[in-house]
Structure 1
């Protein structure tokens, strides 16, 4: 039994035996060392090292301890080299043929069938939305300075900031609105999405909330009308901007941002009694910011007139009193529509009256200034607007001076964007409110009474080419002021 053989390993029809006194199994044939070494990749697959076979080769190659590596590619090369060396030296024999059925023989490893993964539940995707439209309700339409009312909806994500529509409410009002949501990420199933928007208006926090349903096929979703949780502060104001921060909560998964919208919001004193022209509401709400009474709104709204630098809101054109070459405008609408923004005194008086009407103030009236009504209608006499230089009289009273020679025009009272308006008129229009007089054309006022206005504005009278009644020496009233609504003299 000295020539017993011991199978070191067998794989298919290729095997290795120890050579010490061993013989090849019956029915097999030896393999040349270089061919046997080539069989190693089949016997030990390189793509996924089998640790059982690594252990066997470690035993086989015990004489070359340390050659087994955990690096598969390096391991295979080293084993190939060692097997070839052992075959050459006769330490082992390689054979091809049916594997021996000895107790020491090893069966090829059985590979278990692959385990089929359990079906995976589909991932649940929740909706993601963003605000693309805001439509205010119960607001007072703002007119774009003679170009028609601003468009509704008031805010669209596709518009530039300068093209969004302003909004007007009465102070202390709650603000209703509706929005349109763009579904940025559809959900896997229909679900409820909570929406909320928050804004600060002065010291008040306004919040809008609602719930909408979003389905996998939804593109845009409209909300019902939402009313602000709190009213606007009870003061005249211009909120520029009113910023609303929107958030959404899909199926209770938590609040995430849904966009930010910015709005120009005006709060007027009372319900408008006339057209809400953009320029007029903007000037007055900014000037009367924080006011709560009619008297204060009137006085504060007039303050910007004293700067004589008013600007049309829709295009930034400066508004002017009397451009001699183009001035034909006699109403607010014509003044706002004119290309160069120039208007006569009648348009400026109505400009201020219409401004107050936006706040529900209807107690301001247009006043005409004339020497007498008869002189006005006949065009026979007018008045000289400050300032004139009165030289020595050359004619008998009352028309003591010749125009332009005996009485000479000097730089006078500046008007709106006009340092030197015409120096003489047959009539002039101003405004009365609460017994006080306002002269919008020149930015003058308030004046306590007619005498005070006349002293500051009139320098004398004229008739055709003659002048007389210099104000400096004629303290009596030179002109008459008539309320055009009541036909009563002031």
Structure 2
């Protein structure tokens, strides 16, 4: 088909050239069948006879060169950034500072244009902050994309590529759009257009001064972002520029991390919160499916911050006091935390998607359901043990807390041969046997369901008491208190299945 089209076009041109080149009619008639078309191999004899510009094929450039008397043609670039395909002689004679780029050259080679800078903003946008341990954390700069040395990437010193965020169904608004242009010059009313993902387009005009083309005002996308949560690891905009208003040349590509949230984000707005929650809920819009998708990211006990580091629960310690990180910012920055940090992180992920109804829930021993211990000043259980523990016969004289226990922190005096010992436990986030000896534990409640992100456990549903009982059955091994009046050694009693011995404070 392409050979046929090439031949047909050649014949048309032959007809118009016959009078002017009657003496070369035989050569031109032979050239027509050699125009195989793009992507098809050229006959070696054709190349030898007709590849005037030496570019490895026989095309209209060669045909035009033969028409002009075997003078090859190529791009003629003018000072006003326009271009024509001419012979070298015709280019020099045309005036206007015409520069001929050589046989077979194309107009797209006349001008080199590279996108240099972009600022994202407008209605629906949210400023993202760097991860840091102790807020307030610093915001990323407002000029989110900068290729300072205009080499086509943002990998060099002085370059940057900062993340941006928009609420779903928003227009993307750009300002401060700037290109680098070579050769330098002066031009006004330069047409600029960009093609983004999902059909978003941007159009505007700018003025060239020297090597800098500044686009005027703001460019608001034609079309909106999806009406769902969406994560773009690379929000690519392919840019084109037309100095003559007609012939567009490549302007390079900008690539930015872009997060589309369900609603306007709340809270600290650290990037890891966007990274975790937006990737998890990608493609969703309704509240409960978004909650479920975010929770699924925690339930598999594989959660990563924006730097790709896996987050852990009491990583490397069995004594809770040895981990001094309690909050979501500390967790995403230091990559480990107590239960409070994990509960905070789940809430921050919900809040980043505009969901503000989640609350902290404290789980503690239910004093009314547990007996007094055997200390000098008896009190109910001081705390609980999270599964798993091994019980090997009574070791204390305290019938209420009969199993002798040595706590991992050494707060209580040690027994020589404890009968309640730690075993590989209920796995936590990135930890098969985390710390498991606590006075209390923090979880999260949203939409009448309870979630324990430290262990990826839940949701627990029903009434508050029913959810409490579900959680307790899955987590509790026993409860500890003082086992002797005359010393500070600890004893443990086993959890009684189907008897609620803990409580949720809400």
| TM-score when normalising by structure 1 | 0.67
Q: Secondary structure at the match of 2:325?
A: coil
Counterparts of 1:325-474 in structure 2 under 5 Å?
327-338=323-334, 341-372=335-366, 381-393=382-394, 395=397, 397-403=399-405, 405-448=418-461, 449-464=467-482, 465-471=489-495, 473-474=496-497
Answer yes or no: is 1:320 the counterpart of 2:296: no
The equivalent residue for 1:186 is 184
> Take 1:150 and 1:209, find their aligned partners in 2: how far apart are those partners?
26
Count of aligned residue pairs for this structure pair? 355
Question: Between Structure 1 and Structure 2, whose CA radius of gyration is higher?
Answer: 1
> Take 2:447 and 2:367, find their aligned partners in 1: how far apart are those partners?
24
The equivalent residue for 1:123 is 97
Answer yes or no: is 1:160 the counterpart of 2:160: no
CA deviation after TM superposition for structure 1 residue 385, in Å: 0.4
CA deviation after TM superposition for structure 1 residue 296, in Å: 1.2
Q: 2:166 aligns with which of 147, 165, 169?
A: 169
Q: Secondary structure at the match of 1:211?
A: strand
Gaps of 5+ in 1: 1-117, 484-490
Contact 1:165 1:264 in 2 (8 A): yes
Answer yes or no: is 1:279 the counterpart of 2:279: no
CA deviation after TM superposition for structure 1 residue 451, in Å: 0.9
Contact 1:397 1:468 in 2 (8 A): no
Q: Secondary structure at the match of 1:459?
A: strand
| TM-score when normalising by structure 2 | 0.65
CA deviation after TM superposition for structure 1 residue 360, in Å: 0.8
> Take 1:467 and 1:299, find their aligned partners in 2: how far apart are those partners?
40
Gaps of 5+ in 2: 1-91, 100-109, 149-153, 373-378, 407-417, 462-466, 483-488
Stretch of structure 1 that moved more, 431-440 or 324-333: 324-333
Counterparts of 1:289-304 in structure 2 under 5 Å?
289-304=282-297
User: How far does the alpha carbon of each residue in 1:326-374 deviate from its partner, in whole angstroms, 9 at most, with x for none?
Assistant: 5111111222333xx2211111111110111111111111111111489
Q: Secondary structure at the match of 2:390?
A: strand
Contact 2:205 2:215 in 1 (8 A): no
RMSD: 2.6
CA deviation after TM superposition for structure 1 residue 380, in Å: 5.6
CA deviation after TM superposition for structure 1 residue 475, in Å: 2.0
Structure-2 change in CA distance of 1:459 and 1:163 (3 Å): farther
CA deviation after TM superposition for structure 1 residue 152, in Å: 2.4
